[in-house]
Every structure is written in structure tokens, then in C-alpha cells.
Chains A and B, each alone.
Chain A
Amino acid sequence: MMAMKGFTRRFKPLEILTEEQVGEIHRATLAVLWETGVTFHSERALKDLEKNGCKVDYDLKRARFPEYLVEEAIHRCSSSYRVKARDPKNDLVIGGDTVYFRNFPGMQTVDLDTWEPRDPTRQEYNDLITVLDALPNLHAISPYPYYGYEGVPPVMRIPEGVAIKIRNSTKVQMTGNASDSDQFNIKMVKATGGEAILMAAGSAPLTWYDDQIRATYRAMEVGFPMYILQGTISGATGPATVVGSVVVNLAEQLSLIVLVQLLTPGMRVAIASDTYPQNMKSGVPGFGRIGCALTKAVENQMARSYGIPTRDSASGPVSSKKSDFQTGYEKALNALVSALAGANLILIHGSLYGEITAHPLQAILDDDIAGMVGRFIEGVTVSDETLAVDLINEVGPIPGHYLNTAHTREWWKKEQFVPRAADSLAYPEWKKTGKKGALDYAKERMEEILATHKPTPLTPGQEEEIERILKEAREYYRNKDLISDEEWAVYMKSLESLNYPYG
């Protein structure tokens, strides 16, 4: 069956822990799950957990988890599964040694001259998705990835974003949810024949809020895969130690995994953590720091011991505000460690500062990092052909060389990854280009993609259906009084654009 190719790790993953240490972290997690448990702000979840063997304190809204239930739930998780895309050639097969890359969202875009954030326009939102659709080393698309665009009221930001993603890309998308927007996301994705990866986000430490639990029940109903997202900040919402934070993360994630695996055995889930060390000066998470990579190395090894796929965001948000040196190293180091540690889906493209900003130009730069990391984990092939003893004997010492051999013509492209938006010239040529750097090349590539890449359009019927569901969502929130009169007026006016929905 066709599927998105991604990259395959062809050697043993990095093991930062000994087997005993894996056991210790697991037992520590079980101890927290049993001794303290996890708060569920959801009567329904507490009842379901109690019915199935958890100890529940309804006053504290706390469920405590016996070891056997946790083990059983882990056992029921699929270690590898397919996720259907709108176009079957873009299906994902998540798990095992396959590594995919995905973009990471930012609330707003940035101005490339001042590097200050601002709301994108609808055209810019479409452009971002078009670029993501075109990039070869990007295999899936994130939730949001901008939080709406000029003119859209807050509650409609997620549904409008889901629609733009469906219209401009056939890659699998993840959808976020707020104010129960997942009901509309799911309808839109179903109307176009694919699946979305849904998510439930916990609130560290050890708490699940009701909106996330409602989304979880809807995910179980519709049978889409769901990522269990957890965002401990080491030293603020979790212990300052790497493994202590992992214990908090795992306890929270496993608590929800117990719920979904009890009610829908085999449901496709992944462990997804956004764990950062706390910046002890500004109070903001230490995005991009090497502590992120350390946590990922530990978490991936734990998840592998459970047989549960992972999605990593260490290389997603960075602390830098610009597409610069710092952004480059924060992303590259973290992505490489994630890939070595066995992550199945790595978030990297497009994001700049701390979940706040993203830009297609950055996505283009990051596509090269993804390509480099991907190339690395594919490792080397050792065979008669690659060892090339016959050839080496034939070419012999100088004046022999390899530029003219059929072997070189056949192999160099398989062996090398060539970055697309990078300066690779010698000084004389570089001077002739007017001293272009990576950013200049990325800008050119962005212009080229936007001029030439045409995402597969929806059928007229699908297009109509998307518009109908959006209309339903607009009315739903309007009737719930979540869109004010002024917001509604601006919103309706923005829809009158001649190029709607594409510009």
C-alpha cells in the first residue's frame, strides 16, 4: 500500500538509559499514578475510570491508577499504525523506525524586516500551507499553524485554519481544539476522505481539564488517532530534574491512555511532549535549550519500552526571534537528538519564538535541517557495490579520479543530501551573487514555490461541504454569543473578498 515515505532509521536508537534505569523511571511513574493519581475535571471520565478499577475521590476529582490497569493499557496501544490522508500517497505509517517531520505552529507571522509579530492575512495563511504542502521533507501539517488571520474572531480561528489546510494540502493534518471546535474539524476532515490526528493536551502538573476530556471522548467516537500532549516545564510545572519531569509527563499521559484504552482498545495514540527547562530569569520556558534534547532522549526510550510511538517538539519552538544562527542551532541539535533517540514524528518546520511566531521562510530553511537529519539516520549501506573495491583497484593512485565513473554517477545522489536554501559557493562565485546567504536563497525558493506549486484542489462537492460546515460553525458560535456584534461585522466583511477563500 502507498504511503508517505519519510525516513527510516537504519541503526540502533540512542540509549541514554540503562535497562535498570528504564525500570526505575517506570516504577516511579506507577508510584505517582497510584499514590497521588491525576486530577480529571470530568465527572464522566472519573466514573469510567472508577468502573474499570481506578480509585476515585470525587471531591478531589482525583483518580488513582493501580499498576495492573496501567500495564494493561500500555499493552493495548498499537506500536505502529496508518493514518489516512486526503490523498492516499500521503498516508502516514507511524511507528517503528520511521521518522517523519512536521511543522510547528506559531500564533502569528513575523515581519521579515523588523522581526516583529503581527496577524497574518488570509492570503498569507494560504501561502504558508502552500509552502508546507510543497516541501519534500515535511510529511504532515500541524494544528493551527497560525491562530487565525486578520478579521477572524477568536473562536473561529481553529475551524478556519483547518479549512485552509484542507484546501491547500493533501498531507495529513493535526487539529487543535478550543471551545469544542474539534466537532467541526472532524466533520471537515471526514468530508474530504482523510483522517486527522486529534490531540488532547494535559495541564502539568497532573491535571486534565474538561474540554480536553470532551475532545478525547469525541476522538474515541470518531476513531481518529489521538496524540496525548503534555507540556511540563522543568522547575516550574514539574521537578527541575530531567527524569523527574519525565515522570510527571508519563503519569499524566498514561492516565489518559488508561481511559482511552479501557474504552476503545487499540486506539491509535502517541506520546507527545512539549517539555522545556524553565528559564529562571524570564519565567518563559527555555525553548531550544539542550535540556529539551535530554528530555527527549529519555522520553523516547521510555516510550519505546512501552511500544508507543512518539511525537517530539524539542526542535519546534526556539528562543530566538529571528531566522538566525541561534534558531539554526536550537533546531538542528534538538532535531538530531530526537531522531537518534527514536522519535517517530519530529516537529521543526516554520516556527520561531516560543509558539508565538512562524514563517514559511523559516519552514524552507528547516526543510534542509530535516533533510540533513533524515539523511543521517538512514545511515550507510555496506555492500560489495558501496565498498567499491573493484573500482578502487581500477582507478588506482593519482592521476586516477572518480568524477568520471558510472559508480559516482549512480551513487553520489543516493549518498549525499544537498541543502536547497544554503550558500554552498566558493568565494569568487559567492561575490558574484552579491554575497547571498541562506535567507536570500530561502526567499527565492519561497517565491518560486508560491509561483509554481499548485496544491491538489478539492472537488466542487467537497468545497461546498467545507463551506457548509464553516457556516454551521459560524452560526453555532454566534448563537452561543461567543462572537460579538463588532467581531461579526468585521468577519462577514472579510468573507466578501473576491478571492475568498484563497485570498
Chain B
Amino acid sequence: MSTEILENLKKAVMEYDHEGAATLARKAVEEKVDPLEALNALTVAVRQVGDGFGRGELWLPDLIGAAETMMSVMPILDEEIERKGAKRQSLGTVAIGTVYGDIHTIGKTMVATLLMAEGFTVHDLGINVTAETFVEAVKKYKVDILAMSALMTTTAPEQRKVISALKEKGIRDKVKIMVGGGGITQKFADEIGADGYDPTAPGAAKLARTLVGK
């Protein structure tokens, strides 16, 4: 029974079926399927879609569709995991956002999705994110990696501002910081004291692994 639920969960993710996935997740909880295993099934499915994307067989809407299906059922499983006092397996926790003054969404969303497919727990803070919000998120989610996107010459300096704010709060060394977005360069990343930069979304996922040593 449990393997059937897990298989169907995978299938629901790969068919971008939010409702179906939610029903199955609730059923998994009812039938006492290990929530960590259910979560794992979701991750495997998203990773498969991510691999298909990497091979050029699947496309962005497939990737984002699968990732969002997974995200939509996470709360159901998270609640159960917490109730059992278990701990979610993940490569690490990432908070990601496009910096203040900048509303470019697409690149940031791609990176967030591929990080999820890679096996990270991702908190997407959205766009136009202030330094205070980034700092709050670092504290609240106990993040391992803070990822920032900026696409404009005028908003790139915000990344520096966020790093300063983290320093001020004395938590700069608690997180790894990676930066990106059109226009950001390795040189700029070095100048502002980020821990990593990559010009592509798949590269960002690899970089994140390196940053957490996995």
C-alpha cells in the first residue's frame, strides 16, 4: 500500500497535479506512511524532472510545474514530520530573493527551482526584498545559504548592503552567501565578499552543494 502511495505521489508531481498530490499526501499521513519517505518520493520526482530539463527533454514550465506541485504539499508532510519529532533530510536550507528595488523574477525562480530539485530546502522570499527581510529570513529559517539575485547596475549594490547588514547583526559567518543575476560578475562577487557566484541556474545548484560541502 505504502509503495503504491509513494509511486502515485511521484506521478502526481511529474504530472503537475497539485490537488492529486495533496490528496495523496493526506492519505500517506492517514495510512501512517513515513512522512520522510513521502518527502523523499517528492524530491526524487522533482529531481527526475530536473534531470530531464538538464538533458533538454523537458522545459521550464515542466520544471517549475513539478517544483510548485512539491511545494504545495510540503506543509502537509512538514506538519507530520514535526509531530513525529523527526527531522527533514535535505542538503541544507536556502533563502533566496531578488534584492530591493529589483523586480526581475525569472532567473531567481529558476535558481530556486533547481536548488529544490538538487535536494535543498528552499524559502523563496520573492522580489524587491529588503536587507532587513533577508536578515530576518536568515535568523528565522536558520539558513545555510543565502542566495541573492540582482539584474541591474543600480540594484547590484544592494547585495553589498545585505552583507553589511548581516555583519552588523554578527551573523555574517553563520551563512554562506551566493550571488547572481545578469550583470553580476565574479569580480563583483569577490569585491563584496560573497562566498560564491555562478552565471547560470544549473551552476548555482552545483555551487550550493560545494558551499555546504556536499
Does B60 lie within 8 Å of A278, measured CB to CB? yes
B106 touches A179 (CB 8 A): no
Nearest chain B residue, comparing its CB with the CB of A207: B103
CA distance A235 to B106 in the complex (A): 11
Contact yes or no, A281 B59, CB < 8 A: yes
Residues in chain A near residue B61, CB distance under 8 A:
235, 240, 280
Whether the Cβ atoms of B153 and A281 lie closer than 8 Å is: no
Out of A178, A233, A236, A281, name the residue touching B154 (CB < 8 Å).
Answer: A178
Q: Check if A147 is an interface residue, CB within 8 A of chain B.
A: yes
Q: How far is the CA of A283 from the CA of B153 in the complex (A)?
A: 20
What chain B residues lie within 8 Å of A237 (beta carbons)?
A: 105-106
Residue contact A283 to B103, C-beta cutoff 8 Å: no
- Tell whether, in the assembled complex, residue A236 and residue B106 are in contact, meaning their CB atoms are under 8 Å apart: yes
Determine the chain B residues whose CB is within 8 A of the CB of A178 once the complex forms. 154
- Work out how many contacts link A and B, with CB atoms closer than 8 A: 30
CB distance from A18 to the nearest CB of B (A): 30
- B60 to A209, Cβ gap below 8 A? no
- Find out whether the CB atom of A147 lies under 8 angstroms from the CB atom of B153: yes
Q: Is A203 an interface residue (CB 8 A)?
A: yes
Q: Is the CB of A154 within 8 A of B59?
A: no
Asked whether, in the complex, the Cβ of A179 is within 8 Å of the Cβ of B60, the reply is: no
Question: For residues 128 through 158 of chain B, which have their beta carbon under 8 Å from a beta carbon of chain A?
Answer: 153-154
Tell me the minimal C-beta distance from A265 to chain B in angstroms.
31
Bound Cα distance from A281 to B110, whole angstroms: 10
- Does A179 contact B103, Cβ atoms closer than 8 Å? no
Complex CA distance for A356 and B152, rounded to whole angstroms: 12
B56 interface hit (Cβ, 8 Å): yes
Please give the distance in Å from B150's CB to the nearest CB on chain A.
12
A236 to B105, CA, bound (A): 9
Contact A281 B103 (CB under 8 A): no
* Among A147, A233, A280: residue with most chain B CB under 10 A: A280
Q: Is the CB of A281 within 8 A of B56?
A: yes
Which A residues, 172 to 187, have Cβ-Cβ distances below 8 Å to chain B?
178-179
Cα(A252)–Cα(B107), bound, Å: 23
Question: CB of B41 within 8 A of chain A?
Answer: no
Residue numbers in B under 8 Å from A155 (CB-CB): 154
A283–B199 alpha-carbon span in the complex (Å): 13
Range for the number of chain B residues in contact with chain A: 10 to 19
Rounded to whole angstroms, the CA-CA distance of A281 and B56 in the bound complex is 8
Contact A283 B59 (CB under 8 A): no
Q: Does any Cβ of A come within 8 Å of B179's Cβ?
A: no
Q: How far is the CA of A375 from the CA of B171 in the complex (A)?
A: 65
Count how many chain A residues have C-beta atoms less than 8 Å from C-beta atoms of the other chain: 19
Pairwise interchain contact B110-A283, C-beta atoms closer than 8 A: yes
A279 and chain B: residue at smallest CB distance: B60
B73 within 8 A of A: no
Q: Are B60 and A280 in contact (CB under 8 A)?
A: yes
Contact B154 A154 (CB under 8 A): yes
Smallest CB separation, B68 vs chain A (Å): 14
- Residues in B neighbouring A280, C-beta threshold 8 A: 59-61
Q: Output the least CB separation between B50 and chain A (Å).
A: 13
The CA-CA distance from A281 to B107 in the complex, in Å, is 12
Q: How far is the CA of A155 from the CA of B103 in the complex (A)?
A: 18
Report the minimal beta-carbon distance from B30 to chain A, rounded to whole angstroms: 37
Residue interface mask A175-218, B partner, CB < 8 A = 1? 00011000000000000000000000001000101000000000
**Which residues of A400-443 are within 8 A (CB) of B?**
none
Query: How close is B192's CB to chain A, nearest CB, in angstroms?
Result: 13
Q: How far is the CB of A34 from chain B (nearest CB, A)?
A: 25
CB of A177 to closest CB in B, whole Å = 12
Shortest distance from the beta carbon of B114 to any chain A beta carbon, whole Å: 11
Q: Which of A262-296 contact B (CB under 8 A)?
A: 278, 280-281, 283
Within 8 A of A (CB), among B164-214: 182, 201
Given contacts A235-B61, A278-B60, contact A283 B154 (CB under 8 A): no
Name the CB-closest residue of A to B154: A154
CB of A340 to closest CB in B, whole Å: 31
On chain A, the residues within 8 Å of B60 by CB distance are 278, 280-281, 283
A155-B153 Cα distance, complex, nearest whole Å: 9
Q: Interface 1/0s, chain A 146-178, versus B by CB < 8 A?
A: 010000001101000000000000000000001
Contact with A along B37-69 (1 / 0, CB 8 A): 000000000000000000010011100000000
State in angstroms the CA–CA spacing of A233 and B109 once bound together.
15
- Contact present for A283 and B107 (CB under 8 Å): yes
Q: How far is the CA of A207 from the CA of B105 in the complex (A)?
A: 14
Q: Which residue of B lies closest to A484 (CB)?
A: B157
In the complex, the chain A residue whose C-beta lies closest to that of B59 is A280
Contacts of B182 in A (CB 8 A): 356
Please name all residues of chain A whose beta carbon is closer than 8 Å to the beta carbon of B105 when the two chains form the complex.
Answer: 237
Residues of B within 8 A of A281 (CB): 56, 59-60
Residue pair A179, B154 in contact (C-beta under 8 Å):
yes
> Nearest-CB distance from A169 to chain B (Å)?
25
Residues of A within 8 A of B56 (CB): 281
Instruction: Output the nearest chain B residue to A148 by Cβ-Cβ distance.
Output: B153
**Could you say which residues of chain B place their CB within 8 Å of the CB of A203?**
103
CB within 8 Å for A154 and B106 given contacts A278-B60, A281-B56, A283-B60: no
Q: How far is the CA of A240 from the CA of B59 in the complex (A)?
A: 13
Which among A147, A240, A283, A356 is the interface contact of B106 at CB below 8 angstroms?
Answer: A283
For B61, give the chain A residue with the smallest CB separation. Answer: A280
In the complex, A237 Cα to B105 Cα: how many Å?
Answer: 9
| The 6 A-B residue pairs with the shortest CB-CB distance in the complex, in nearest-first order | A280-B59, A154-B153, A280-B60, A283-B110, A283-B106, A154-B154
Known: A280-B60, A283-B60. 20 other contacts (CB 8 A): A147-B153, A154-B153, A154-B154, A178-B154, A203-B103, A209-B103, A233-B106, A235-B61, A236-B106, A237-B106, A240-B61, A278-B60, A278-B106, A280-B59, A281-B56, A281-B59, A281-B60, A283-B106, A283-B110, A283-B201
User: Which residues of chain B have a CB within 8 Å of any CB of chain A?
Assistant: 56, 59-61, 103, 105-107, 110, 153-154, 182, 201
> Interface on A for B, CB 8 Å cutoff?
147, 154-155, 157, 178-179, 203, 207, 209, 233, 235-237, 240, 278, 280-281, 283, 356
| 21 residue pairs from A and B, CB less than 8 Å apart | A154-B153, A155-B154, A157-B153, A179-B154, A203-B103, A207-B103, A209-B103, A233-B106, A237-B105, A237-B106, A240-B61, A278-B60, A278-B106, A280-B59, A280-B60, A280-B61, A281-B59, A283-B60, A283-B106, A283-B201, A356-B182
